[in-house]
Chain A
Amino acid sequence: DTGVSQNPRHKITKRGQNVTFRCDPISEHNRLYWYRQTLGQGPEFLTYFQNEAQLEKSRLLSDRFSAERPKGSFSTLEIQRTEQGDSAMYLCASRRDRSSYNSPLHFGNGTRLTVT
């Protein structure tokens, strides 16, 4: 178990630029989640994958956000035309789903995005 890996750890970008984050989940985990966390708040759900299929997407997620998980392995989260309000910590988490097992989320260290 090498843990969930996220890159980069920090990203500073200018408003209007596009950014892409990467998440490598724990290898045997078939479910992958993206969350956003702002200061003083709990993680806010963005989207979720089961293998390569994106099964859920938050209604709060702007169409500037897109996520992929090709081949059911790593995932990328892209934000187009960034805005200052996009500044946050972006967390990736994974879990191995078993119908009879209460598997928890395993989180990465997050990518902190600052939009100037």
Chain B
Amino acid sequence: AQTVTQSQPEMSVQEAETVTLSCTYDTSESDYYLFWYKQPPSRQMILVIRQEAYKQQNATENRFSVNFQKAAKSFSLKISDSQLGDAAMYFCAYRVPNTGNQFYFGTGTSLTVIP
């Protein structure tokens, strides 16, 4: 079974500080794609960052970066210089091309940013 585990239901961070959200996944495939999505309250889900499993270099997007550990099947998201607008639910997801086109999502981490 394809599963994504986000072990932190809730996290909080002080404004301007750094926070790391954890994610682990389970697949026997070697080729897959990983994503972090952000869902602000009552707003649509948007892509934060993505990573191809074949790439060893960790992806970065401005203040957002990932720590991809393929052997450990870990894909954590680091948010630097946290801003009030970062407050949202964050979902980790992955897709395995060889087993279909589904995106599998975790249960999410609710991030609170404290002014």
Known: A41-B108, A43-B91. A56 touches B35 (CB 8 A): no
Contact B107 A56 (CB under 8 A): no
Known: A42-B91, A43-B91. A104 touches B108 (CB 8 A): no
A48 CA / B14 CA spacing, docked (Å):
40
CA A6 – CA B85 in complex, angstroms?
Answer: 24
Interface size class of A (residues with CB under 8 A): 20 to 34
Q: Which of B1-37 contact A (CB under 8 A)?
A: 4, 6, 9, 33, 35, 37
In Å, the complex CA distance between A82 and B93 comes to 29
- Given the known A-B contacts A42-B91, A104-B50, are A109 and B43 also in contact in the complex, defined by CB atoms under 8 Å? yes
* Known contacts A48-B102, A56-B100, A102-B33; is-contact A42 B4 (Cβ 8 Å): yes
**Alpha-carbon distance A31/B104, docked complex (angstroms):** 16
Residues on A with C-beta less than 8 A from B46 are 107
B45: interface (CB < 8 Å): yes
Task: Tell me the dominant secondary structure on chain B's binding face.
Answer: strand
Q: Chain B: interface residue count, which band? A: 20 to 34
Closest 8 CB pairs of A and B: A42-B105, A107-B45, A104-B47, A109-B44, A102-B33, A43-B105, A45-B102, A42-B107
Interface pairs (16), CB distance under 8 Å: A4-B44, A42-B4, A42-B91, A42-B106, A43-B45, A43-B105, A45-B104, A48-B101, A56-B100, A56-B101, A105-B35, A105-B37, A105-B47, A106-B47, A107-B37, A107-B44
Q: Which residues of A contact B (CB under 8 A)?
A: 4, 31, 33, 35, 40-45, 48, 50, 55-56, 91, 93, 97, 102, 104-110
